[in-house]
Amino acid sequence: MAHQCNDSSHSHGVDDGIEYSLNRYLDTGTITCLNEKVKGSVQHIFKSWEDRHELKHFVESCDDEELIINIPFGAVTQIKSIIIIGGDGGSSPNKMKAYINNSNIDFGNIRSYACTQEWNLHEDFEGQIGYSTKPTKFNNINHLTLYFPSNFGSPTTKIFFIALKGVYTSAKREIVNTVYESKPQLQDHKSDIFNGVSHDLS
Amino acid sequence: MTLEATIVCLDNSEWMRNGDFAPSRAEAQKDAVNLICASKTQSNPESAVSIMSMAGKKPEVLVTLTQELSKILSGAQELKVSGKIDFSTTMQIAQLALRHRQNNHQHPRIIAFVGSPLKETKEELIQLAKRLKKNGVAVDIINFGEVTENSDKLEAFINDVNNNDESHLLTVPPGPHILSDIILQSPIVESGSGQFGSEFINADTDPDLAMALKLSLEEEKQRQERERKAREEANGGPTTNAGTTTTAPTESNMDVNFEDDPELAEALALSLATDKMDVQPSTNTDSQPPQQPPTDDTSSEAFKDQDFLNSTLNSLPGVDPNRIKNALENLSKKDEDKDKDNEKK
């Protein structure tokens, strides 16, 4: 699909969504949202690419239009672009700020953190617009926070679908399992080191 | 069973010297705090609790978020009464402390005891409540002592901080009742942020563990239902068996319960066999376990009282009242059958 507008921060026509979508690698049970009206509703908006148009599950903000969504990753990821489907009637978010690797953000301290990247969003009900990330900054991510400070005019913000496009490595960030031996025994460690033949260079 | 980080805020203002809660508001509050902290740590071993004082020179954190009950209780004991409470500052400090909790999966909660007049206006409290709700903090308030002055403001506060019925306001007017007992029965102690926590356990840690817990809870409920029904039957049962639970010797078929507890069956059978020799079952209830000494007439009436019986059984080591009750239900049913047979003869 040809690029239809001059804005270089996003691309149209993400038909290869199925291939790169990270949604299936997300553990939705660990995703949290601040200021959501229905507790736990944020876990249902990371749908599979085929289900992106389904309208039953969405997250709505309570009382005002701000939303903070915390997405922890099980493994180190690289995020290339983000797709947002918002609600109609002005309830789509019009700005998005991303903060990486900080799991401590809430509405009290969000002003004190510099955001990694900021986008102006457009109303997109099809999931056609992918907001691309600066590649150097979104490389080794284990926690992503998305902040939506405002919307297109409605008193509350509604988001129906979020898709993350990127590369999922299997490098896990977890505690190293170590075993300590007071007296190492050679028979416990089978190795070929002592069977090899070495030649000195002279 | 919810994973929570709770900050308990205590009122240590001059108003707590008041004796309208026996022996004084401060003492009643101490007992209540012990109760709440114990229940939070027991319901989930990974939950953390912290203690803060609201009055004095300034609101202060006495015990930082910890899982060890002993540290929490010793911190709460040192509280000195002085000054006036500063509710809004306390809430802000508590929110800050919760934001910096070590385990982000613990659901944040504040429990505040308010026993003196609030100096904040309703509007200020509503603003505070909205900020707390936005950051996902649940708040429970125990309004005691200065109930008439504070109820209005605190109700507005709880209405605005409440999200999905997680925040509660408990109003306790002064009277002869005990603060801890009332708190025990309120939703503050029974359930925390119910649904969220149980979903979390299922998703994140072992699903097997969650299933096992659910099953054992259901089993316990079913067992209690059975006992309740059996007690009702026994109470309205035939008059040949006096008291609440009586037994008769049985040498007949072993039953499901006895297969589980063969020692109990033997022991009961022995003690019942000896008692059958003398007095009729109406004056003697043989429902004690074999460890207890034989009853005499003066204590037999006392033993007829179900509550006394229950408390005695519960206080004995190595006695499981549930096992005994199950065994006795079956025996009493057999007893009725036997009596009918005897009468026919």
Residue-wise pLDDT tens digits, B200-223: 444 445 667 767 877 888 888 888
Contacts of residue A12, defined as CB under 8 A and 6 or more positions apart, other chains included, come to: A1, A3, A4, A5, A128, A129
**How many C-beta atoms surround the C-beta of residue B341 within 10 A?**
9
pLDDT: which is higher, B134 or A191: B134
What is the band of A118 on the pLDDT scale with cuts at 50, 70, 90? very high
In the three-class reduction of DSSP (H, G, I as helix; E, B as strand; rest coil), residue B50 is classed as: strand
Burial (Cβ within 10 Å: 0-12, 13-18, ≥19) of residue B252? exposed
Reading the block at residue B18, the tokens are: 């008041």
The pLDDT value recorded for residue B248 is: 41
Contact flag B135-A40 (C-beta cutoff 8 Å) = no
- Structure tokens given for B147: 């109930």
B140: DSSP letter? E
B199: nearest CB among A40, A64, A66: A40
- Measured between CA atoms, how close is A144 to chain B, in angstroms? 15
pLDDT of the residue at B235: 73
Look at residue A156 in the predicted model and tell me its pLDDT.
Answer: 92
Mean pLDDT value of segment A11-32: 71
Q: Choosing among A34, A41, A106, A109, which should be mutated to test the B contact, i.e. which has the most B CBs within 10 A?
A: A106
Tally the C-alpha atoms within 13 A of residue A46's C-alpha that lie toward its C-beta: 23
pLDDT tens digits along B89-105: 999 999 999 998 988 88
Residue B137 CA to its chain's centroid (Å): 24
The pLDDT of residue A12: 66
Q: Which residues share a beta bridge with A61? A: A36
Residue of A nearest to B96 (CA): A108
- State the SS3 of B305-335: CHHHHHHHHHHCCCCCHHHHHHHHHHHHHHH
Q: Could you give the percent of chain B with pLDDT greater than 90?
A: 35
Angle at A43 between CA A147 and CA A129, to 5 degrees: 55
State whether residue A5 is helix, strand or coil. Answer: coil
The predicted structure's pLDDT at residue A60: 92
* pLDDT above 50: residue B292: no
Say yes or no to pLDDT of B125 above 60.
yes
| Tokens, residue B48 | 């953390």
Q: How far is A104 from chain B (nearest CA, A)?
A: 7
Chain-chain contact of B99 with A107 (C-beta, under 8 angstroms): no
Cβ separation of B196 and A63 shorter than 8 Å?
A: no
| pLDDT of res. B314 | 67
Q: How many CB atoms lie within 10 A of CB B229?
A: 11
Phi, psi of A159 (to 5 degrees): -125, 130
Whether the CB-CB separation of B197 and B40 falls below 8 Å is answered with no
Strand A130-132, strand B107-114: pairing: unpaired
Asked whether residue B244 carries a pLDDT value surpassing 60, the answer given is no
Is the CB of B134 less than 8 angstroms away from the CB of A27?
no
- Positive or negative, the CA dihedral A55, A61, A64, A66 is negative
Report the pLDDT value the prediction gives residue A68, as an integer from 0 to 100: 94
CB contact under 8 A, A30 and B95: no
B interface test, pick of A32, A38, A39 with most B CB neighbours within 10 Å: A39
User: Token pair for residue A138?
Assistant: 């979104």
pLDDT of B114: 94
Structure tokens given for B27: 């003492």
The predicted-structure confidence for A136-194, as pLDDT tens digits, reads as follows 998 888 899 999 999 999 999 999 999 998 887 776 666 778 888 888 888 887 777 77
Query: d(Cα A103, Cα B162) in Å, to the nearest integer?
Result: 24
Task: Say if the Cβ atoms of B99 and A106 lie within 8 Å.
Answer: yes
- Weakest-pLDDT range from A25-29, B190-194, B317-321: B190-194
CA angle A57, A62, A63 (to 5 degrees): 150
Question: How far off is chain B from A19, nearest CA to CA, in Å?
Answer: 26
Nearest to A84 by CA among A65, A97, A102, A101: A97
B59 upstream amide cis, omega within 30 of 0: no
The single-letter code of the amino acid at B256 is V
Instruction: Residue B292: name the closest of B326, B269, B267, B273 by CA.
Output: B267
Is the ipTM reported for this complex over the cut 0.85?
A: no
Partners of A32 on chain B (C-beta within 8 Å) are 136
Nearest-10 crossing angle of helices B69-77, B25-43: 170
Q: Return the closest-CA partner of residue B251 out of B232, B272, B233.
A: B272
Q: Tell me how far apart the alpha carbons of residues B329 and B236 are, in angstroms, rounded to a whole number.
A: 13
By CB neighbour count within 10 A (0-12 exposed, 13-18 middle, 19+ buried), where does A199 fall? Answer: exposed
Whether B96 and A108 lie within 8 Å, measured CB to CB: yes
The DSSP line for A52-106 is TT--S--EEBSSSS-EEEEEEEEEEEEEEEEEEEE-STT-SBSEEEEEES-TT--
- Per-residue pLDDT, B296: 45
pLDDT above 70 for B317: no
Do B134 and A29 count as a contact with CB atoms less than 8 A apart? no
CB contact under 8 A, B195 and A30: no
Single-letter code of the amino acid located at B229: K
Say whether pLDDT at B25 is over 50: yes
Q: Cα–Cα distances in Å, from B273 out to A26, B250, B327, B338?
A: 67, 8, 16, 15
Region of poorest pLDDT, from A28-32, A52-56, B56-60, B310-314: B310-314
From B100, B196, B203, residue closest to A39, measured CB to CB: B196
pLDDT in tens, B175-184: 888 888 888 8
Classify B339 in phi/psi space as left (phi over 0), alpha (psi -120 to 50) or beta: alpha
Tokens of B90: 């306390």
> Hey, is the C-beta of B206 within 8 angstroms of any chain A C-beta?
no
CA distance A53 to B79: 57
Q: Is B199 on the interface with A (CB under 8 A)?
A: yes
pLDDT of residue B256 exceeding 90, the answer is: no
- Backbone φ and ψ for A164, nearest 5 degrees, come out as -110, 130
Residue B246: predicted pLDDT = 40
Query: Nearest chain A Cα to B92, which residue?
Result: A108
Q: Which of B130, B135, B196 lies nearest to residue A63, judging by beta carbons?
A: B130
Query: To the nearest whole number, what is the mean pLDDT of chain B?
Result: 77
